[in-house]
Amino acid sequence: MATCGEVLVKLLEGYGVDHVFGIPGVHTVELYRGLAGSSIRHVTPRHEQGAGFMADGYARTRGKPGVCFIITGPGMTNITTAMGQAYADSIPMLVISSVQSRDQLGGGRGKLHELPNQAALVSGVAAFSHTLMSADDLPQVLARAFAVFEGARPRPVHIEIPLDVLVEPADHLLPGRVVRSSRAGAAPQA
């Protein structure tokens, strides 16, 4: 049985993602479980802001979106500066974060790394922020994100996944064929 987190990694592979930047944490175990069996290379910075700037630099030099796996709370607050720079410069960046379980969203119960509203936090530095309330919506949300990256002004996109959704069975979503995203790379030297 593949979980939503594991299927997400397979879908990213289908979009041509070959690097992910982030710091493993208790809230992102299912994402990293998926990475272990994939062809995607993981790069671990010392700080989530570093992950964001690494993804930004990767996107600028490789001509495709930089992808980050970030924990809820401090991971999100730390990456917003890099997202702001990417937004201002029209750099494609996909930030995938965890968030508290669906039944605890917005509860203010003081759960580990809980923020009141991560989507509101990044609203000014992302083309959109989406809370994935069901694993079944994952392919459509990723397609929307990669459509933003192919647009005239690509911007960062944030997808937050509740902890209970990350572990949902999602075998039925395993990709057959995914339309790959492509974007022109840096301009050649004149």
List of domains in the chain? 4-173 (3.40.50.970)
* pLDDT for the residue 111: 64
Q: What Cα–Cα distance (Å) separates residue 154 from each residue in 83, 100, 146, 181?
A: 12, 28, 9, 12
pLDDT of residue 180: 45
Averaged pLDDT score across all residues of the chain:
89
Cβ pair 31, 53 in contact under 8 A: no
d(CA 169, CA 86) in angstroms, rounded, equals 33
Q: Which of 152, 149, 162, 82 is nearest to 122 (CA)?
A: 82
Cα–Cα distance measured from residue 17 to residue 2, given in angstroms and rounded to the nearest whole number: 19
Q: What is the pLDDT of residues 22-33, one digit of tens each?
A: 999 888 888 999
81, pLDDT greater than 90: yes
pTM beyond 0.85: yes
pLDDT tens track for 105-159? 766 676 666 666 778 888 899 999 999 999 999 999 999 999 999 999 999 999 9
